[in-house]
Amino acid sequence: MITIDLLPAEHRRAERTAPAKFLATVGLVALFFSTASACAYVWFGVVGGARSDVENAKEIHESKKPMAAYCDTLEKEKKEYTARMDHIRDFSSSRVLWTKKIDQLASLVDSPEQEDRHTVWMQELNVAMNDARSRGLRIKGKSATARLKRLSDFNSDLKTPPFFTEFNGISVPEGKVVHDDDFEPSAAWEFEASLTLEDPNPQTKAAAKPAPAPRK
């Protein structure tokens, strides 16, 4: 059925908005404000907090730079100190207390473990430290009697610790029989011998060590 409203326009009743359209409009408005609120929360809450954290991190980083530079300086000084200590330790280990070593030699000469094992007196002691290849002690003396065994016994005693601790080799004593009627017995071996020191440098030791023979 068709209804015709013949009243003038100013007397007509205003038409109401359809409920579905009204609800849709209200939903859109609510969704818009919810989205705007979420964006505002993300921006001011999360992004703003992240920016604040970044600024705090930058401030902490800048405040720790002087401490980091100081730590680097300390590390450098530690390395230099360690290098100096290693050098001093190597130098100390390469030194020989010659006064103590001469005292030990004197004990071997004057007080052998076996009585009358040898009769030796020193005529010359020469400490050679400048020659890297033959660093050590060179001795010259005499061994009473013409019996070479007593000189050989003395040479063996020189190889015993503690006197021989810092040495790594001793030469076979060389010499000749001399005679002097003012002494009894008149015959004696006049000899010379050399004792070489150990090389304190490990690289030199390794270079001096012969290479193993190749396998066949």
- Judged against a pLDDT cut of 80, whether residue 163 lies above it is answered with yes
Q: What is the mean pLDDT of residues 62-74?
A: 85
What is the assigned CATH class of domain 98-199?
Answer: alpha beta
- Judged against a pLDDT cut of 80, whether residue 72 lies above it is answered with yes
pLDDT for 207: 47
List the one residue out of 112, 113, 158 whose CA is nearest residue 138. 158
Q: Give the confidence band of 16 by pLDDT, cuts at 50, 70, 90.
A: low
* pLDDT, tens digit, 9 for 90 and up, residues 132-152: 566 788 999 988 876 788 888
Alpha-carbon distance of 185 to 179, in angstroms, equals: 9
* pLDDT, tens digit, 9 for 90 and up, residues 171-181: 887 788 888 87
* pLDDT, tens digit, 9 for 90 and up, residues 106-123: 998 888 888 878 888 888
